[in-house]
Structure 1
């Protein structure tokens, strides 16, 4: 049978792009690596919107950028396929199903928390231990490939455990980038990009300017005002702008902001993080759960939407801003070396989060530890889908509470 011709430059309407990504948003379980596999099957294999080389280059670009790589690949595909409206349609279709599910879960806990079976939320927190442990192990194998990178990861974990605040985390990332530039300067020049520029470079430059302007201005406005909406915008924008390594790494950055400020209790935070593993789509929709869980009566659909949009704004600005310049960036050895150091530090951040708050807030007994081990084996050894492990963990937590 003759192959279908490549259709990457034939435009699609925003509505048709939305429907394609909506199906993916309803069915893409398994985290960012699995999402990239689903995208490849859909856009390279089935629809032939991209060839292998262009798709691989999009993945490389989005792994280079801070933020959720799978969502950014979706935004980039939508941008290439349908312009700026197409990028928004792709994001909405892929993101809304899990965002709505987690918002409803948050509002349910806030309004009917007493009706939740005892032990169910604790079971979700125990599953979160297994999920983060799996993420640490997988990222360490890929990103800490020698003694120097492993040392950066370990020292980063020690630093953020001794100085548990957001500034220490950001400082560790910046320092690791400087060390990486000195130690890991690439010996070979990467290949030239195969991504056709989707936008004029003036628009790209303005997007990058706005990205950095918001990063600098929002903290000033938030500190000078008592308006909580500004504080939410600042917190979630910074999380989306500064998270390297995928969705799991947003955990320590957000926990350091929302829990000490009293916006969300630590138990609710971890229960929501566990529940986020049971829904399809990007893990960054955990921000919608946090917005819907805000204390002092401020948690609502509106606050969930604010947090969700704020955490994804950097992804749009970076994709719009960097795609036309990607060929130069990936050929820059200093940039690649600094990124290697940052990636090692990201492993350290997640390792520290595995201990505090994930472990310290969930494992209180030998029974808890045993359940966490079973959940980890289910994910790593038995390869069960995360949503099934989460469901089983919640039921097991409820059953153990009832029996013991």
Structure 2
């Protein structure tokens, strides 16, 4: 059960606090179809990564390196480090800021979010990590909140909440799926847990069951919402104004825990100065976001597109390493989600191209250095 809790924690996060509202803005009540489609897609994705984790090590970047070589793995690392983490943690922090401000009855959500993000960096520099036990506790808290919110919200769901069902057309379901992908971008976690725990496949099945119930319930109960804090509204409907402080505390713990974990993982991927690099990237992104008044929806969509590209790369590795039709099917569906990203697809394309060029330049420089070293050795021996 501990492994299941850790796996659920890799999938659930602060994104679920606001993604129902963003998806509803994109597709109206028809966003429930995007939730259902992504849940169905989660099955082959989760199975593929679980099987990869049983046979190979190194996470998604390691899988791509084994399957296609070191140069091909560099774009995957860049997508996660340069885009997925900075946009994801800033978006998550702003989500937490919204809920905390709501729970406290006032305050600047953006300022609160920036403070949360800064606190997570301080904690990482100090070497503070969220322990496995604390992570399990936070996951249990989030799951309990979602379950209570869904149970209390279901009796209030009416037919009117689903009319009109697709106000922005049927293609809007695909656009909703893009932003929702952020809530499904944790299935590759099984690949890193396989080295430490036993039956990853059983934990995968349990996680799929838990996430399916919670996500579909949340999608149905928030189908007609126009609120920026849908989960808080559901809890307040159940418990009245007394639910606000609970919401603020829960949002703080969940957001900080998720951001702290993302930064720790990104810092390891970035190498010796990985955390400092992330600090610079997040500071620049925050400044641009505040200066240009970038919407939360845009931040989440960019992060989702980058994480979808990472998932697609991992599935492509699974196709080659496992010779799996399941992985091939999941890869095709993930590519379809990426296609609905529209112009945002340029982000992973440009970053990936830059990474490949960088890998080629590094290889050439390394070859020249090796050649010079090789030619210098004989000269040294002859002069002696």
Structures share fold, TM-score greater than 0.5: no
- Between structure 1 and structure 2, the one with the greater Rg is 2
**Higher helix fraction (1 or 2):** 2
Q: TM-score, normalised by structure 2?
A: 0.30
Q: TM-score, normalised by structure 1?
A: 0.29
Structure with bigger RCO (C-alpha 8 Å, 6+ apart): 2
